[in-house]
Every structure is written in C-alpha cells, then in structure tokens.
Amino acid sequence: MSKFNKKKSGDMPAVNTASLPDIVFMLLFFFMVATVMRQNSLMIENNLPFADQVEKLDKKDLVMYIYAGKPSENFKQYGTETKIQLNDKFADVKDIAAFIAAERADKREELVPFLTTALKVDSDANMGLIGDIKQELRKVNALKINYTTKKGSVLGRD
Amino acid sequence: MAKRAAPEVNAGSMADIAFLLLIFFLVTTTIETDSGINRKLPPMEESDEEVIIKERNIFTVLLNGKDQLLVEDELMEISELRAAAFKFLDNGGDGTCDYCSGEKDIASSDNPDKAIISLKNERETTYKTYIAVQNELVAAYNELRDIRAQALYGKSFAEMQANYKDVNWQGNKDKLKERINQIKIDYPQKLSEVQ
C-alpha cells in the first residue's frame, strides 16, 4: 500500500491558468470586431429564402431596408397576415414613398442615385405584397432593388 | 525602513470578466446577410407605345398561385428551368450571332440581343418560389456570360467582376470594364416582369 501513499507526498502542481484571460480576450476581440449591430429590431418573422446567384451589397450606408413577413410571436395581436416593417414600425404600402423620401433626405445629394433598396422578405410571403412594394418603389423612382437572400441551393433546401 | 514588496494584484478573476463580455457578444451577434439578387425595376412610363416583339423571341415563364411553373405553355420543374432558359437564349435562330452554340431552331429566339424572358407571377405565389425562379434565370445568363468570357478572355465572368471590385487587383481596370461591358452587350439580361 505504500505505493499509493507515495503520491501524496509529491504535491501536484496546479495548472497554470495565467494565459486563460489572454485566450478569452482573443475570442472576445474576434466577436467584437465581427459583430454588426442590428439597425432595426425585427417585429416580423424573417426567414430569408435561399439563392446561389447572389451579389454582395458592398456599400452598407447606401442601402435602405424594407422588411416584410408575418408578425412574430410577440406581436401576434397584429394578426397573421404578412406585414411590412420600416424602421422598427409596422407600415402600410403607402408609407413606403415617405420612407424613401426620408432616407434620401438623410443622405448627401450626390449619393442619392446610388441608393439601393434591399427587400428582406420572409420566404412564405405572398408575391402580391412584393408586387405592391415594387409598384410603390417605381412611383418614387427607387429602381435599384436587391432581394436579400441567404447563400445556398435553391432546390435542395426549403 | 523595511522594504516590502508590493503585493501582486490577483488576476484570477480577469478570466471571469472576459468570459462575461465574451458571452454577451456571442449572444448579441447576428451575422447579417447582405447579399442577394440585384434587379432593376422598369421606370414608370407615361407613353404607351406598343412594341412589337415576335412570339418566338419571348420566353414566357408563368408562376401560378400554387407555385406551379408553366414555361412556354408547358409544365416544368424548377430544376429544369435553367437548362431551358439557357437553350432559349443561346439559340441564335437568325444566324447573326456567331458565338452562339445553340441549335439555331427557327421557332426559337433570333439572337441573344432579341431574346426576352418574360416572368409573370400571381399574387398568391410564394416569395420563396419566386426567388428560386429568379435565381435560375439569372443563373442561365451567368452561365452564358461565363462561357463567353472564357472564350474571349480566358477568364470567367464572375472572376472578372470580382477582379473589378477588388481594390488590390493588379491590372488595367478600364480595360477590364470594357471587357465586362462587351460581354454584357453580347448577352444582355433582358428579363421583364409582367405586372
């Protein structure tokens, strides 16, 4: 039995955790840099469809976002119909013109022609609403649009 | 005076603090998707002049409320759409398109410049299906442009566009722009949506 007792005499050195903070800080910095803070908090379900012929929107400050989808769990009182969301609020199709005008007024004049409208629409939405949005955008001459999608195969996944 | 060494600050809890911050950022992070299919809407026009387009130059794609696809009056699966659009665009029926490798069927499109894809959807069509169809049609154009770019300049069209956007790319951007435009002229994206 003395075999086992021997171990006790030699003290196990504690694992040196001095570099643990460094490792954690490294991770922390990665996430801090990679994080993009959301501009709008979504009140709708926004499960984007998949597509693979996508182009990147590179100038983020020149993008106007229009969201559409069913009201999410917390906003059930607004019904189950697909709704448009502009800037943290539910909106109607006819509010789009005012929204675009406000966004344009925010930007420098020479940048206005480069504004793109990104449509972030839930995959289960009806095209009727999208058609109305597009019609409205044509009326205010905001012709550059982008159907925001996730990158993936169209056919394989739902 | 007795010299006393300053006691070391206990840094044991530093990891805990860092972990706390880390977890906060992990939870709040949403990787934003900022890519998608770019389209240009037609401007509102006052004049209603009728443009006469030959039936054979139009490729009609119809999506109904039950997400069924009707292409040139025939039912089709979305998986077959890309090939069908490709064949239509690359047909070159009137022989003016010397780079087309299509079948030169006189019942199909005359040349890529005249070929128009007309997409019509109903109000009940789901967005998902619509995007899938848009994607396939854009893919057909991209494939044709890739082939053309490969034949002319030995590079794919996607690669040329990536180079054009890349600030670190070493090369003549004006020339590249010209080449990109040339390919866009060879295979113009004529995709019209019916309201």
pLDDT digit string, tens, across residues A38-92:
667 788 888 888 888 888 887 777 888 899 988 888 888 888 888 898 888 888 8
C-alpha pair distances (Å), A74 with each of A18, A70, A71, A77, A126: 45, 11, 8, 8, 22
3-state SS class at B125: coil
Q: Is residue A73 in some structural domain?
A: yes
Chain B partners within 8 Å of A60 (Cβ): 34
B-proximal residues of A, 82-111, CB under 8 Å: none
Structure tokens at A98: 């005012």
pLDDT at A157: 47
User: What local confidence, expressed as pLDDT, does residue A142 receive?
Assistant: 87
Task: Note whether A154 contacts B: Cβ–Cβ < 8 A.
Answer: yes
State yes or no: pLDDT of A99 exceeds 80: yes
Position A156 scores a pLDDT of 56
Residue A96: which domain range? 50-150
Q: Is residue A145 part of a domain?
A: yes
Q: Who contacts A32 (Cβ-Cβ below 8 Å, separation ≥6)?
A: B25
Which residues have a Cβ under 8 Å from the Cβ of B97 and sit 6 or more positions away? B111, B112, B113
Task: Decide if B18 and A25 are in contact by the 8 Å CB cutoff.
Answer: yes
β-strands A55-56, B35-40 pairing = antiparallel
Could you tell me if residue A41 is inside a domain? no
Residue A124 within a domain: yes
Looking at the complex, report in whole angstroms how far the Cα of residue A136 sits from the nearest Cα belonging to chain B: 10
ipTM of this complex prediction, to 2 decimal places: 0.74
Q: Please count the structural domains in chain A.
A: 1
pLDDT of A8 higher than 60: no
Nearest to B129 by CA among B191, B74, B78: B78
Q: Is pLDDT at A158 greater than 50 in this prediction?
A: no
Say what the pTM is. 0.77
Nearest-angstrom CA–CA distance, A147 and A130: 10
pLDDT band at A155 (very low <50, low <70, confident <90, very high): low
What is the per-residue pLDDT across A107-120, written as a single tens digit (0 to 9) for each?
888 888 888 898 98
Per CB-CB distance under 8 Å, the chain A contacts of B39 are 145-147
Q: Could you tell me if residue A93 is inside a domain?
A: yes
Phi first, then psi: give them for residue A146, nearest 5 degrees: -140, 120
A12 CB near a chain B CB, below 8 Å?
A: no
- By the 8 A CB rule, do A53 and B135 touch? yes
Q: CB contact, 8 Å: B12 with chain A?
A: yes
Residues in chain B, pLDDT under 50: none
Task: Report the pLDDT averaged over residues A121-136.
Answer: 88
Tell me whether residue A128 is exposed, middle or buried, using C-beta atoms within 10 angstroms of its C-beta: 0 to 12, 13 to 18, 19 or more. middle
Q: Which of A18, A122, A154 sits opposite B127 (nearest CB)?
A: A122
End-to-end CA distance of chain A: give it in Å, rounded: 65
What are the two backbone dihedrals, phi and then psi, of residue A151, each rounded to the nearest 5 degrees?
-85, 125
Interface of B with A in 119-138 (CB under 8 A): 121-128, 130-132, 134-136, 138
Domain with A119 in it: what CATH number?
3.30.420.270
**Residue B148 confidence (pLDDT):** 87
A25-42 pLDDT, tens digit per residue, is 888 888 888 777 666 778
Residue A34 resides in a domain: no
